[in-house]
Amino acid sequence: MEIISLDHQLYVLMAAVFFVAGIIQGLFGMGLPAIGIALLSVFIPPLEAIGLNIIPIFLVSFFQVFQTGNPIPIINKYRIFVISSIIVGFLISFLVVLLGDRALMTILATVVILFSLNNIFSKRLIISEIFDKQWQLFFGIVSGIVGGLTSILGVVGVLYLSMKNLKPNQFVAGNGLFIFIGCVSVGTGYLLSGVLQSYMLLPALFGTLCAFLGFYLGSFLRNFLSPQNFYKIIWFLFLITGIRLAITAISKF
């Protein structure tokens, strides 16, 4: 049953949801896609929530790439990840109708939970820059597989970036790029399949404006976080994401 029925109610909902989601995204460079869809789907049908969620994700992640300055070095630095994830994601997307995603989501949830717990309670795992190209290829392929089969954006990117010992601003810029790239391919599919419809444009843009306001507030608050505390909170957010993925995977059996 649809709870949101009036235009002004939808705009109020979009404002509240995306302001909160924007704060989290500004603070940690992640969270907007998951928070947006989770909160919206409480009040409106899932397909409508997905359509309304994609435009704020697209625009905020695009801005996030530019926030720390010239994006060209970031794109060049992670080009192997980006190219491999796009190619693999495109090819894998054709297998969605043939393959179930229960096993994949179960494996992904297990990896995310174990990785988070390891970083919370023991020594953090670090990727050597010597083998960064190989790791980019590996995580790019995994990201393409996960994105192509489940449309889950950002999880594999966070896993890769969190192992590179980056400064918080570098982490935010890199993950913004990965979310944006994933959003382009997924959003194109939503547009072609009719999930994203014309009446959603104005509410989504209003939600985007509120997300930007929250993002600026979150970016300001990030200045008061030490890198150590930044990553500690990232691990807990990642753990919550893993638990959510596990619950979704279990519900599919």
Residue type, 176: G
Whether residue 122 is contained in a domain is answered as yes
> What's the domain range around 12?
7-251
Residue type, 140: G
Q: pTM of whole model > 0.85?
A: no
Please say whether the dihedral angle defined by the alpha carbons of residues 247, 248, 251 and 253, taken in this order, is positive or negative.
Answer: negative
Coil, strand or helix at 20: helix
Q: How far apart are CA 170 and CA 65, in angstroms?
A: 10
Whether residue 1 is contained in a domain is answered as no
Residue written as tokens 């509240």? 16
How many domains does the chain fold into? 1
Per-residue pLDDT tens, the chain, 253 aa: give them. Answer: 344 445 688 899 999 999 998 998 888 887 787 788 778 877 887 778 878 888 898 899 888 888 767 788 888 999 999 999 888 877 776 665 455 556 666 766 777 787 777 667 766 678 888 899 999 999 999 888 877 666 566 778 888 998 887 888 888 888 888 888 878 777 777 777 777 788 888 999 999 999 999 999 998 988 888 877 887 887 788 788 778 778 877 776 6
